[in-house]
Structure 1
Amino acid sequence: MGNVSLINHIIHFTLGVLSNYYNNIVPIFLLYQIFDGYKFNYKVVLKGEKTDDIQMDLLLFSLGAISLRLLK
């Protein structure tokens, strides 16, 4: 997994959970991903000082969002 931090994954999952309660989180998160991806030319970067994995970010956000539905 390289440099991609566990804290980053936890934050994205938590934001997904919170998106069930605060609808504004979804568009803000997607805009953030667009701007964040621009820094890395929208490529997955797993090695180096700065890393980015947009697909993993979106997956964890989505898993957080549906986790409450599965628990109900």
Structure 2
Amino acid sequence: MTTKRHDLAYPSHVEEMSTNFGLTKREVFAAQILAGLMSRSGETEIDWQTPLAVKLADKLIDELNKSHHYNT
């Protein structure tokens, strides 16, 4: 199983829908990481935290895709 950056985080399997709506896994991961960074730092300036959150989300996805995580 592979996690793709642009897969929907909460996919809908309704066949009538021609367009997918919602956040991607990457967006959800980045938002959660950003919330953690903001709560920890106590800073309100997010200029340096937002790019870091996206980079960390990408690294998380890469790590999840390493084969040893899916061997049971």
Tell me if both proteins adopt one fold, taking TM over 0.5 as the criterion: no
Where relative contact order (Cα < 8 A, 6+ residues apart) is larger, the structure is 1
Give TM-score, length-normalised by structure 1.
0.31
Give the structure with the larger helix fraction.
Answer: 1
